[in-house]
A and B are shown apart, each in its own frame.
Chain A
Amino acid sequence: MNIYVINGPNINLLGTREPEIYGSETLGDIEKKCIEQGLKDSHSVKFMQSNYEGEIVEWIQHAIKEKIDAIVINAAAYTHTSIAIHDALKSFSGFKIELHISNPHLRESFRHVSYISPVVDAVVAGLGPSGYSHVIQLLTELKKQYNEA
């Protein structure tokens, strides 16, 4: 199973940016855990981060082309603005999970609308930095159950 974990703007600042909201773990720490979690069952997890909307769109298009099995996307602030990411995700037929470290619905009202939520299978928010590896674990288990069924 090939999984893309796509991260949006400012997530590269994790660990230093508002640690009271996002925790003290860095994106590198999270990436390491996700890759290790995937490797337990020989799954490949590719971890990406960009501050540029177009680059994120291109990664999703690449996932479509390469027939990647699942995308976990934390589009960060682009969640609330990007119709381009919405459109790209719509064309991706694999499993899609929207992920947020904090729960956007508990924060400023401009974070209450997500253009991502309607085009993904599932939304996971507010579980903290460990939400990533929990989601990877679940995806690999679901894959296993699917293969056994």
Chain B
Amino acid sequence: MKAADAWRLSAIPYSEMAFRSILQNSSNMWWGSFGRGSSEASGRDDLVKRALRIARFDKLVITAFVIVAASAPFLPQVLGASYGISASVTLSLAVSFALIVLYGVQTLSSFVTSGPSPVLSTLPLVREDVSLVNLFSFVRTSDYLVVGSVVCQVFFVSLVTGSALPGLFMLFAGAVNSVMGVGAALWLSSVFYRSILGSKRGKRGGVLRLALLLAWGVVVLGIGVLFAGAGYMIPLVQGVLASPGVLTGSILSLVYPFSLGISVGSIAQGLAATLVARLALGATVTYLLIAVVVSRWSMSSIASFPEGASGTQGTDRARDTSVPLHEPVTAYALKDLRATSANLTSAFLLALPAFETLVILLIRAFLPTLGASTILVAMTLGGMVSLILPLVLVSTEGTGFDFAKTMPLRMRTIVFSKALIATAVFLPAAAVVYVESLLKPLASPFSVVIPLASILAVAAASTLEVRLFLGFAPRGRAMFALQEFARMAAGAGIVLLPATIYAISYIFTFNHILATGAMVAVASAELLAVAEFVRRS
């Protein structure tokens, strides 16, 4: 088969894979809603088209984001900074690597669990042709991202250095970086999904999942830190790299992607013969070899998909059939936790509120005391982040929601169970604040009450959001977008109101007791009102 034919044919398995990925997570996001035929026959064709449109739109948005992220580190030089480009190239490569990994893991679940298209294997195609089509459909998952990031990196390096050679080397570095990113995404997906699908439930699997979750968190937080600190980091790192005889520079020159960044920088400066530059060039050659190995491994993994890439049944066989029992709300919450943790992206979102709060506290770590404003900002932002969870919890129902719909379940059981999880994952955010308060003196003793009020507000907001997400089926795309925004805005309003009341009360009275009292009162009233609304509806 000609490569052009294989490329054209690969659009079909790619579409199928994109559709399956979206269908797995979106049965209640873009079509239908609780009790209103999410899988009714008339919508099937439209559903497929919409899923593919979402996949394409999603890829375009992420690509735009990757381009901005990969370009941003070059801004100092574009604006006239006089220092070299090694740190900028390194940062750009690191950010694009991380984003390729993040996006890849989200879209590769269907690839890893069942291969792009089992139907291909049944067609009269030789194995090599099937593998080639699979390879191309795999390439389609991140083609825009890779091309977008590499083109903008080459463009900026050529622009800043005013020379073609560094640009050419940047092209090589970008290609190596993309291969490594895609390979890492593939590996991470394989390990994670096989740990879920390929074995019996157990402590070992749980620990592995937790470890992968933390690795995922480090990648996500890493991107955040790189963005937040880029302005300070670039000159600092550039200074370290440019100082001859500094041990840190020598070590960094061996670390990926510093090696590539330093190599591009040294080529731009006419191949500076420093130790750091030599070490970096040597390491770059090593990384090139690793990239070759990674690409071969990736291709062989993809080629094996037609044979069934999923873990299939584990070797551990159950011997008993005992079934533990719980209260309905607990059982539903447990089911949701299990389903959510089976997906790397949604699993990480469970830890996000605590991560967000931690980041805020770290940013203000230089302050001698833990002020009420720091706690208020950290808890409010953590609370805002936790508002993603109701949507995530509703989305992870997937097509299995029909199973729940056949049961004698009241709407409020589902709403309260999901709100319970959304609130529970916010509790570590409060714990982070209390741990911080043990390490650092509080500016006001009453500020310890703020996290409690925030928990009440988050409970109210998530309850309302879940109820709204489950309750109404919007008609048409415009209405969908509008209503989705309105639902999120309602939750955000509930989280922000007690914090705003606190701020206003304090500004007018300078009294912490009154301000925290007002905050708790408003948050409690919100929770009671929302609970009553859910009970009546």
Our verdict on whether A and B bind, yes or no, reads: no
